[in-house]
Amino acid sequence: MLDRDVNAKGYLIDDKGNIVDDRGRIVFKYWQLMFQEPPKIFECTLWNTNWIRGRVRRDVTLNKRHDDVEDMDGRPINTMGYCIDDEENVVDREGGLVFKRVLLAERYGQDSEIPMIFRTPGRLNKPSKKSKN
pLDDT single digits (tens) 59-82 = 877 776 677 889 999 999 998 899
| Neighbouring residues of 91: CB distance < 8 A, sequence distance ≥ 6 | 52, 83, 84, 85, 97, 98
Q: Are 116 and 56 found together in one domain?
A: yes
In a shared domain, residues 10 and 62: no
Does the pLDDT at position 129 exceed 60?
no
pLDDT at 107: 61
51 & 28 share domain: no
User: What backbone phi and psi angles, to 5 degrees, belong to 61?
Assistant: -75, -15
| Domain identity same for 59 and 25 | no
How many domains does the chain fold into?
A: 2
- Tell me, yes or no, whether 120 and 57 share the same domain: yes
- Do residues 42 and 53 make contact, with C-beta atoms less than 8 angstroms apart? no
Q: Please, what's the b/e burial string for 11-35 (b: 16 or more CB within 10 A of its CB; e: otherwise)?
A: bbbeeeebbbeeeeeeebeeebbee
Same domain, 25 and 55: no
- Shared domain for 58 and 111, answered yes or no, is yes
pLDDT digits (tens, 9 = 90+) for 85-115: 999 999 998 898 888 888 887 665 566 888 8
- Same domain (yes/no): 64, 129: yes
Range of the domain at 118: 40-133
> What does pTM read for this prediction?
0.61
Q: What is the pLDDT of residue 74?
A: 93
Q: Name residue 16's amino acid.
A: K
